[in-house]
A and B are shown apart, each in its own frame.
Chain A
Amino acid sequence: MTTLKLEAHTVAKIYNRKSIFQNVSLAVKEGMSFAITGKNGSGKSTLIKILCGVLSPSKGTIALSINGVLINYPDYYPYIGLVSPYLNMYEEFSAEENLIFIKRIRGLNSDTDERIKFLLNDFGIYEHRRKEVRNYSSGMKQRLKYCAALVHQPPILVLDEPTSNLDEYGIETVRKAMKLQKNHGALIFGTNDKDDLRFADQIFSLDKLEIGN
């Protein structure tokens, strides 16, 4: 297990002159399961994207350190796996091709092939691995997103609406993966689902932020 720390310091996001949130400060450490809640439009997804380094904050800073080394923001892509409704797979490729593309573009070695097989099996889409993603149901797509996020065994797994579009079996698998992630690194998820929130060690609510400049 690695020592890691993801911190946000007085982060604000202004979108088209409107402030989405202000003064967000939080810290996530290894072994932690960190939940972000807030009503619709409170900026859960936006905050998650900022933490992942795919959207830059209007104010404030983000800092990620792994084993004491500070990672240059926003180049967090080797350390983060994200599952989000805003994220899509390449529809003209099969599930397997998508995952192999991810493996190669991340520069992972051939051991990863075993892991891809394992993940596909685990999430119950192994039989459909040769099917083009455009023919997938939304639940299958959601499962594939989990596989894609976990290919490189990220120290930080970030989930936006972790159980949306999933059936009971899918939810069970996700719960398992969430527990596993806590031992492997850190888990961050954004949700309003009460069942999901039971998995959180710490809950951060975007509704209870102080308004100020």
Chain B
Amino acid sequence: MYLVISSYQILLKEIVSEFRTRYALNALIMFVVVTISMVLFSIGTESPSQDILSGTLWIVIFFSAMSGLSRTFVAEEERGTSLTLRLLTSASSVYFGKLFYNLVLILALSMFIAGSYLFIIKEFIVKSYDIFWLTIFLGSVGLASASTILAAIIAKANTKGTLFPVLAFPILLPLLLTAINATRLATEGAFFVEALQEFQILISFIIVMITASIMLFDYVWKD
């Protein structure tokens, strides 16, 4: 019960803090707009295959996640508030608070990306919306679950900026490949059951990542 209360408080604090400081949000929205425009310009008058467009969608989501999700821990470390937080609550509350904040952030972000991608890029046609949105949802949860522990690691390192995608890419690759495949299925108009195995992989990835993170977070948080 205490875990729920205090991680909820951390989530709340992060959200309010984000709306006051706008550290991540404005920059992220601009990032999304810029990258989608670049995709649009590079397509030009060509009509690329759905495979390629599904891939680019996830490239945009991956890099926006990489530029936004490390913020939570890096900010605590930079402003010297991580000691304060360590004195206030348990490591697992911090982990869950940050995980849910990252989840909210990446969900909002990838919905925004997917929506504008569908709207702006005319060549990208989704036929099975149920598969598409479930993939976006599960893919985002997977991104958040792997990024939270990595962000905690990176916050303690000296060079923070470039490190995140380097560390995250090999770990996120099975997730990204599965998500791209499921998105391709959605553009092909596959039935829901045909994408079932993709969803199973995504869900088990999330479970494995969160379980490993809970077990390891203590070591990262109180080194």
Q: Which residues of A come within 8 Å of B, CB atoms? A: 49, 52-56, 74-75, 77, 80, 82, 84, 86-93, 101-102, 104-107, 148
Contact = CB atoms under 8 A, between A and B. Distances in A.
Contact of B87 (A87, A90, A91): A87
A87 B84 contact: yes
A92 B90 contact: no
Interface string B192-223: 00000000000000000000000000000011
Nearest to B94: A105
The bracket for how many chain B residues form the interface is 20 to 34
B160 interface: no
B85 to A, nearest CB: 8
A134 B192 CA distance: 52
Contact of B222 (A55, A91, A105): A55
A107 B6 contact: yes
B122 interface: no
A54 B9 CA distance: 20
Contact of A91 (B16, B79, B89, B90): B79
Nearest to A82: B87
A92 B20 contact: yes
B41 interface: no
Contacts of B80: 86-88
Given A74-B222, A104-B5, A105-B6, A88 B84 contact: yes
B116 to A, nearest CB: 29
A160 to B, nearest CB: 11
A89 B223 CA distance: 21
Highest count of chain A CB atoms <10 Å: which of B2, B9, B10, B84: B84
Contacts of A148: 84
Contacts of A52: 87
B108 interface: no
B83 interface: yes
Nearest to B6: A105
A87 B83 contact: yes
Contact of B89 (A84, A88, A106): A106
A104 B2 CA distance: 10
A88 B2 CA distance: 24
A89 B85 CA distance: 9
Contacts of A55: 222
A49 B223 CA distance: 12
Nearest to B21: A92
A54 B89 contact: no
B88 interface: yes
B84 A56 contact: no
